[in-house]
Structure 1
Amino acid sequence: MKAADRAHVFHSWSAQELIDPLAVAGAEGSYFWDYEGKRYLDLTSGLVYTNIGYQHPKVVAAIQEQAARLTTFAPAFAVEARSEAARLIAERTPGDLDKIFFTNGGADAVEHAVRMARLHTGRTKVLSAYRSYHGGTQQAVNLTGDPRRWASDSATAGVVHFWAPFLYRSRFYAETEEQETARALEHLETTIAFEGPATIAAIILETVPGTAGIMLPPPGYLAGVREICDRHGIVFVLDEVMAGFGRTGEWFAADLYGVTPDLMTFAKGVNSGYVPLGGVAISGAIAETFARRPYPGGLTYSGHPLACAAAVATINVMAEEGVVENAKHLGASLVGPGLAELAERHPSVGEVRGVGMFWAVELVKNRETREPLVPYNATGEANAPMAAFGSAAKKAGVWPFVNMNRTHFVPPLNVSESEVKEGLAALDTALSAADEYTV
């Protein structure tokens, strides 16, 4: 199996001859294991999507039952699994986001949200933040604000980037959250003014940026962006692909801030990644734009019955088993305090931040200067400190989420108390390896 992978599988985001993928034999709950029987506690939830863990029996059974009844059907028809999935999602989205356009994943959800915004407004530009990730397709990767964009960014996608708030590494010389909010909003206002408000179709933000560092927006920021969008007739898009479906201890991260966007993208946790599915939740005003005007977009597998059956089962499992509540409770009572305690003892930890089951640990060379443990977008020898941390974590029995100078604590939302403690103990060991590189 490994030989076939190396001979024929082309892996994403990788130099093909420089990688050595782990051969996975199986997975269940919060764990997976290799063919030698070594078991890992998955602190990554796959790519932050197995919100109910691997192989949940109720979701597996729902997929099997749907396959036996109606494996697939074209998206132009009304199908029970599709209708029920849309209803359950709409019940949980904020405000009037009651129409659901299904896609195959998060990136194409972003693509379609941007298309809807442009058609609704008749404008072309889209503003997005640095320190963001919106997907790997052409428009989505141009919206992305990290180095994965660079190779595909020809500056022709109508995208303008701006700085969103992040107090620990403030671009605005702020010393308090209040200052960071005010200055970030002023920066956004200035960007809009110089770009021309009448040219801007949408502003897209991850409600809580994920891969870029789990940076919770300071109080008042998202409400301020909502007000700016309303004033200029700009569509406000929230990307909840990673933060949605319980990850922050709420069904959607927008619920933490009392903000309703005009469009909201989702994927990943909607069915724990068991079958690819994403979508756009659409406000009444934008839905009305296409009430008698055809929406020029679609996908062959939009609302695929197997994926939607998995979504229905996942949402029902999350409700019945208190999965969202578990993420909120353990995040506040165990993960947050546990990571804070590790920060006190390890000089490599510059900051711990997060909510629910969505946490980041910022690793630094020096706490006083806040110099990152590795340079931005480091590779090869320059990335040795993070490589040492990752290796130590795996040796301790956990699979870590490592990106640039951070590790994220993002296990399944139904992780147990004992599993959280196991993960924290392994991180304690791994951070000792990172400490060796501090000054």
Structure 2
Amino acid sequence: MTDETTDLDARTKDLDRAHVFHSWSAQAALDPMVIAGGSGTTVWDHAGTRYLDFSSQLVNVNIGHQHPAVVRAIQEQAATLATIGPATANLARGEAARRIVERAPDGFEKVFFTNGGADANENAIRLARLHTGRDTVLSTYRSYHGNTGAAIVSTGDWRRIPNRYARGHVHFFGPYLYRTEFWAASPEEECERALRHLERVIQAEGPTTVAAILLETIPGTAGVLVPPPGYLAGVRALADRYGIVLILDEVMAGFGRTGRWFAFDGYDVMPDLITFAKGVNSGYVPVGGVIISDPIAAQFDEEVFPGGLTYSGHPLAAASIIGALDAMADEGIVDHAARVGSESIGPALHALAERHDVIGEVRGEGVFWALELVADRATREPLPAAAMGSLKSGLVARGLLPFVSENRIHVVPPCVVTTAEVDQAAAIYDEAFTDLARAR
């Protein structure tokens, strides 16, 4: 560490505190971590302090930090054509769209590009309303769909409450056996009762008013809530029964996170609209989109679609998608995520749960896991916020960046994480849990 690097970290913080207004925060007490660089699963500050990134930042750096193929694709596109309007045809945009639909199920040939996941969900809702001529959107309480007008009101958590400016949104409870709303004692009961609850909500709202059911295939920020067998297929059946568009939000779960290209590939379900962002290019350039089923896309062959974005299909974003998806395919990164999840992450987390009573439940797949932490295993009382804050501080002090949400630690490293790095992280979690137990 030199005086120069220390000064750079200090200057970064000073500039941030003077001029940057942060999201989801009261500004005065913020003390943000400085990140100056990264590679693979590791990031560091200007002074060279290194951290193992088991947050993937916002669960989006699927391919890892600074992957050379993605960086090179962006650089080459910037040297050729840095920007162009969305009304034009551009080779990078077309190639990016082709690669995306090649990963989608048959019957999806069109992509509407957006700037991120929130406006992907925003435009999926618009498409569903225009297609059905209906207004109401159903989504779960345990969800996050983004912070634009309709997306934030579709969101189920607290963030929607001060942002209720959009119309026609109704929430319901999805399956979550560990904290069941349905007095269920098995995955089968949870599935059956959750589907019955959803159908009653549809009926109570009036089926002819419901345009869409919007679901995260696997709710991410809400806790990596892997759906029980049969649930998503049951939702599809309800959507078909009542003429409702099914939107699956794959913003966090898509493009390798679950060890599959799309999370829904592991379930017996076919959506009508698929939203994506984050993992499609690992967040190197802001981008998202809606993959549109052929019947919905065909409606707009002669009818004007009343939506658009200045940066829709931006060439640098498109190039980053091409670079990321080609590298993920060539290097077997999605298969690696499945393998490291089943052979390393899952076993390591279950071993931690055997040693630490604070872990109430382990759930997940691929590189998409959560540890639900409790003050008491018998009552399942959530671990208090103060203890969570102490645990987070302990992890960071040991060189690991965690993703902490409410009473959970989400274990969500990049898809390229190695077995050795999983072992390193597991040892850090173990030490932090041991310290927490001593303090309690």
TM-score, length-normalised on structure 2?
A: 0.96
Question: For the Cα contact (< 8 Å) 1:52–1:413, is it kept in 2?
Answer: yes
> Is 1:348 aligned with 2:327?
no
SS in 1 for 2:416: coil
Asked if 1:58 is matched to 2:69, the reply is yes
Measure how far apart 1:45 and its partner are. Answer: 0.4
- Among 87, 91, 97, the residue aligned to 1:86: 97
State the Cα distance separating 1:151 from its structure 2 match: 1.0
Between the aligned partners of 1:35 and 1:274, the Cα distance in structure 2 is 20
- 1:161-191 superposed Cα distances (whole Å, 9 cap, x missing partner): 0000010000000000000000000000000
Alpha-carbon distance in structure 2 between the residues aligned to 1:278 and 1:356: 22
| Alignment match, 2:260 | 250
> After the TM superposition, which segments of 4 or more aligned residues of structure 1 sit over 6 Å from their partners?
none
Q: Which position in structure 2 is the counterpart of 1:421?
A: 423
- Tell me the residue number matched to 2:185: 175
Once residues 49 and 420 of structure 1 are traced to their aligned partners in structure 2, the CA distance between those partners, rounded to angstroms, is 18
Helix, strand or coil: the match of 1:429?
helix
Higher mean alpha-carbon deviation, 428-437 vs 35-44, is at 428-437
* Distance of 1:434 and 1:311 partners within structure 2: 41
Q: Please give the alpha-carbon distance, in whole angstroms, between the structure 2 residues aligned to 1:32 and 1:227.
A: 45
> Map of 1:13-412 to 2, 5 A cutoff?
13-153=24-164, 157-374=167-384, 383-412=385-414
Q: How far does the alpha carbon of each residue in 1:303-346 deviate from its partner, in whole angstroms, 9 at most, with x for none?
A: 00000000001000000001000100010001001000000000
1:385/1:437 contact within 8 Å kept? no
**Any conservation in 2 of the 1:94–1:254 contact (CA below 8 Å)?**
no
Structure-2 residue corresponding to 1:377: none
Q: Distance in 2 between matches of 1:434 and 1:268?
A: 33
One-letter amino acid matched to 1:182: E
> Which amino acid is the alignment partner of residue 137 of structure 2?
V
Are the counterparts in 1 of residues 230 and 268 from structure 2 also a CA contact under 8 Å?
no
How many pairs were matched up?
A: 429
Cα drift, residue 288 of structure 1 = 1.1
Letter in 2 for 1:384: A
Moved more, 88-97 or 385-394: 88-97
For structure 2, the 5+ residue unaligned runs are 1-11
In structure 2, give the amino acid aligned to 1:412. Answer: P
Superposed CA RMSD in Å reads: 1.0
Relative to structure 1, the CA distance from residue 255 to residue 437 in structure 2 (aligned partners, 3 Å threshold; closer, same or farther) is farther
Q: Does structure 2 retain, via aligned residues, the 8 Å contact 1:84–1:312?
A: yes
Distance in 2 (alpha carbons) for counterparts of 1:436 and 1:262: 51
Q: Which amino acid aligns with 1:423?
A: A
Letter in 1 for 2:106: G
Secondary structure, counterpart of 1:98 in structure 2: strand
TM (norm. structure 1) is 0.96
Q: Which runs of 5+ in 1 are unaligned?
A: 375-382
Structure 2 SS opposite 1:128: strand
Q: Does structure 2 retain, via aligned residues, the 8 Å contact 1:365–1:437?
A: no
Note the alpha carbon deviations across 1:56-95, whole angstroms, 9 max, x for none: 1111111100000111111111101100000000000123
Residues 235-285 of structure 1, C-alpha deviations (whole Å, 9 max, x = no match): 000000000001000000010103110001000010010001100000011
Structure-2 separation of matches of 1:98 and 1:370:
46
Q: Contact 1:270/1:314 (CA < 8 Å) preserved in 2?
A: yes
